[in-house]
Structure 1
Amino acid sequence: MMMTNYMEILMSNEPWNLIAFMVLPVAMAELLTAAELFILARPSASAGWKRLSHGLGIAAGIYFACVVAFFLLHVLPNITLRGWIDALALIAYLLGIVPLGLITLQELGVFGGPSAKRQWHHILLLIGFLAVSHVAMIFGMVDPTLSGWQPPMQQNMMNMQHDMSNMPMDHSDMGSMSSDDMNQMHKDMHSSMHEGHMSQNGQQ
């Protein structure tokens, strides 16, 4: 089974890529969601949760902005998209900066409103972040070949087989070939296809 670039990035340099690109952002968003729910449940006894929400609201957006900048500058220019499934997973992941960034701007006082209204905005934005991050995870785990994409080696082999099937053959020479020549030709073709298959498996 082939992997999307999204999943390959998370599985590379284990476990650091997984921690930096998935565990930390999602953990901060979920902890921030818990803080907001506790504030709503007990507004008169939630001073600690409010401080946590404020700090996490700033930290989560700044951290994920750094992650997105790293992807845009160092990851995306060096990969080739593996079909629309791969593209959707990466785009959904990067879109997480929108809700987290807006939360950070709210906490920094760039825009906002009454405290109660800001809390509901936080919750809606956090739901948006968790939604796009789950879309990224779901499509990131899907085999990209389901979108019609084919690995370069496999595509080259298919093109070679297509060219061979369309190649004109001089049957007059076939009649003059000995059985030993025919057997050798079949062995050569089988050996070539076997080497191509082994090369493809090695690349995967």
Structure 2
Amino acid sequence: MNMTHYMELLAVNQPWNLILFMAIPVVLAETIAVTELAILFTRRFDGMMRKINKICSIIVGFYFLGIFIYLFVNAVIPFTMNGEWRGWIDIIAVGFYLMGVIPLFGLSLLDLGIVGRGWNEEQKLKYHAIFVGIFLIVAHIAMIFGMLDPSLGGNHSHHMNM
């Protein structure tokens, strides 16, 4: 089957690529989303939920920044230089996956106090929730397009090389 580079990355080197590129970031992001809801409902900014939320936010931002740099250097640049993209569906899948670095690293910067240092807890909570929402959107777009056969977008190449 012809597949996007996104899906190929997750399919090869089983189970390690799936764990490193999908499971770890998604488990951390889902932990953030669930604890974010608890914080939004309770408005408790000092409890255990907030501590878990903050730790996961800091870890996932830096973890995904590492993924972004690794894939940009080892996949995006070579695919672009060698004309190896499998059409527009492939570019959307990989591009939206990598765009996850923006909201995830934003969470890290916010929880480290690098961004929003002078904001009150309500303002921080607002932006924290926005970053979580943005991540959920870009991650789901990446997953949807990543699961498509790139030939649906007019690409009929059948090489696999991620």
The answer to whether TM tops 0.5 is: yes
> In structure 2, how many angstroms separate the alpha carbons of the residues matched to 1:143 and 1:115?
44
Q: Which residue of 1 aligns with 2:56?
A: 56
Residues 1:104 and 1:82: Cα distance change in structure 2 (over 3 Å): same
Answer whether contact 2:2 2:158 (CA < 8 A) is retained. Answer: no
Q: State the distance in 2 between where 1:128 and 1:100 align.
A: 9
Match of 2:109 in 1: 105
Say if 2:60 and 2:104, in contact at 8 Å, map to a contact too. Answer: yes
Contact 2:4 2:90 in 1 (8 A): yes
Write the distance in 2 (CA, Å) between the matches of 1:151 and 1:8: 14
- Asked which structure has the greater RCO (Cα within 8 Å, sep 6+), the reply is 2
CA distance in 2, matches of 1:34, 1:144: 33
How many residue pairs get matched? 153
**TM-score scaled by structure 2?**
0.88
Structure 1 portions without partners, runs of 5+: 154-204
Describe the shift of the 1:82–1:128 C-alpha distance in structure 2 as closer, same or farther (beyond 3 A). same
Match of 1:120 among 115, 122, 126: 126
The answer as to 2:140 corresponding to 1:130 is no
Cα distance between partner residues in 1 of 2:4 and 2:131: 27
Task: Describe the shift of the 1:72–1:45 C-alpha distance in structure 2 as closer, same or farther (beyond 3 A).
Answer: closer
Amino acid in the other structure paired with 1:47:
G
Q: Find out whether 1:82 has 2:53 as its counterpart.
A: no
Q: Distance in 1 between matches of 2:130 and 2:105?
A: 13
Contact 1:28 1:56 in 2 (8 A): yes
Which of structures 1 and 2 has the bigger CA Rg? 1
Rounded to whole Å, the distance in 2 between the matches of 1:55 and 1:48 is 11
Aligned match of 1:26: 26
Give the structure 2 partner of residue 142 of structure 1.
148
- Stretch of structure 1 that moved more, 94-103 or 45-54: 45-54
**Displacement after TM superposition at 1:121 (Å):** 1.0
Change (3 A) 1:116 1:78: same
Structure 2: how far apart are the matches of 1:45 and 1:75? 40
- Aligned identity (percent) is 37
Q: Which has the higher helix share?
A: 1
Matched, 1:14 2:18: no
Query: Structure 2, unaligned stretches of length 5 or more?
Result: none
Deviation at 1:152, TM superposition (A): 6.5
Distance in 1 between residues matched to 2:40 and 2:146, nearest whole Å = 34
- Distance, in Å, in 2 between the alignment partners of 1:11 and 1:116 is 41
TM-superposed CA distance for 1:76, in Å, is 2.5
Task: Compute the RMSD of aligned alpha carbons.
Answer: 1.7
